[in-house]
Amino acid sequence: MKITEVKTAEVRVKIEDKRGYLYHYVRIYTDEGVYGTGEASHVDGGWRGSTRSMAEQIIGKDPRDVDAIFEGIRRSYIFRGGMSGLGVSALTGIEIALWDLAGKAQGVPVYRLLGGKFRDRVRLYVDSAKTNCKERAEEARSKGFTAIKFDLDDANNPHKADRWNWSVTPGELEVMVDEAFEIREAVGDHMDLAIDLHGRYDATAGMKVAHALEDLNLMWLEEPVPPENIQAIANITHSTHTPICAGENAYLRYGFREIIEKQACDIIMPDISKCGGLSECRKIANMAESYYIPFAPHNNSSALSTVADAHVCASVPNFLALEFHRYDDPSWNDVVISDEPVIQQGHVVLGEKPGLGVELNEDYLQSQLDEGEPLWQ
């Protein structure tokens, strides 16, 4: 079996009067008619050129040699973004497509190729805006979700010093803490609750917030400081009883090595469709497992990548929860075709279909493009 062609699709799904969501897909074709589809997340307009350039290296290769193809491209890009950012994210889309293809070629689900599964169902948590918290929690709970996350950072807080200052004023801290306690009361004591700060505070502010929330029994406090200074994150983690979660902006296992070795956070959250793909994130999870650190991937992608992420989450013992960021997206289920709903009672349920187990709904995606524009290019 040999790779013959690689194509990309870029689709903005329209949602009423909003801009909607922009999705980036990769498809790899072979001489035996088997193909695989992947998704790259958090990329800009340059991803398509990067993907096409990378594709030139893999024509004629056996797509089942997933790790060798991945590493070959990564090493060739060592001076062109092969360690982080757009280059790795574009490569991730190729890697996921290779796994889908490899599973189809061998007639097994991807999780079988990753070593099998520890669980049949992959738990999701709902990412939600900070509005109608009680109603949102009750609605999510009624659909089988057992965990939810709310954003606590607010660039428009009237007590902020100014738009550039990452410190937290006494008035700002008071508002944040009051809101957090109100959220916990609205959610109740028997639903896991996470709070996200999006890395928008300095080290002192992050520490103040973490300490102030210690009585809330949070599942985690997410990214209290920006990701570049690992020691700053570690200082907060080691000073508080509030579990700290970080890692959505790290790339490859090399980017997680120091985080894990320093035990700089209590929970790691690599973005699987951004930071290296399925095999790479399984390696990250296994590194974390040796330090007894739970694995809770970040996910802001379409249903295709969410299912791909679930294959990794099923294959590692230290999985905690996978993010579901598109709770309010009415088009989320339209993007893929599957035998059963992708989400059932707050979980992704993995079956025995080969590859990822779902296919893109190409008719729907084509309907989102301008007339005459081809889906695959």
84 and 160 together in one domain: no
Question: Residue 84 — pLDDT band, cuts 50, 70, 90?
Answer: confident
pLDDT at 17: 67
**What number is the average pLDDT over the span 8-14?**
92
Please give the residue range of the domain that contains residue 120: 113-359
Residue type for position 65: D
pLDDT at 125: 97
- Domain CATH number, residue 169: 3.20.20.120
Tokens linked to 201: 């505070």
Q: How far apart are CA 19 and CA 14, in angstroms?
A: 6
180 and 291 together in one domain: yes
Write out pLDDT tens, residues 354-368: 999 999 999 999 999
Residue whose pair of structure tokens reads 């709902």 in the numeric block: 126
Q: How far apart are CA 85 and CA 249, in angstroms?
A: 9
153 and 22 together in one domain: no
Q: Please give the tally of structural domains in the chain.
A: 2
77 and 119 together in one domain: no
**What number is the average pLDDT over the span 119-142?**
90
Residue 245 lies in a domain: yes
Question: Residue 80 — pLDDT band, cuts 50, 70, 90?
Answer: confident
295 and 335 together in one domain: yes
Q: How far apart are CA 54 and CA 74, in angstroms?
A: 9
Residue 339 lies in a domain: yes
Residue 373 lies in a domain: no
pLDDT at 237: 98
**What are the angstrom distances between the C-alpha of 164 and each of 150, 154, 161, 201, 336?**
23, 13, 8, 10, 41
103 and 118 together in one domain: no
122 and 259 together in one domain: yes
Q: How far apart are CA 86 and CA 109, in angstroms?
A: 28
Residue 374 lies in a domain: no
The model carries a pTM of 0.96
Write out pLDDT tens, residues 185-241: 999 999 999 999 999 999 999 999 999 999 999 999 999 999 999 999 999 999 999
135 and 149 together in one domain: yes
144 and 18 together in one domain: no
Q: Is the dihedral of CA 325, 322, 71, 360 positive or negative?
A: negative
pLDDT at 126: 95
Residue 188 lies in a domain: yes
| DSSP-assigned states of every residue in 51-95 | HHHHHTTTTTS-TT-HHHHHHHHHHHTTTTTSSSTHHHHHHHHHH
99 and 206 together in one domain: no
Residue 215 lies in a domain: yes
**What number is the average pLDDT over the span 268-273?**
95
Residue 224 lies in a domain: yes
Question: What is the percentage of the chain residues whose pLDDT exceeds 70?
Answer: 99
97 and 128 together in one domain: no
Residue 376 lies in a domain: no
73 and 188 together in one domain: no
Specify the DSSP element, H or E, that contains 348: strand 347-349
- Domain CATH number, residue 10: 3.30.390.10
pLDDT at 192: 97
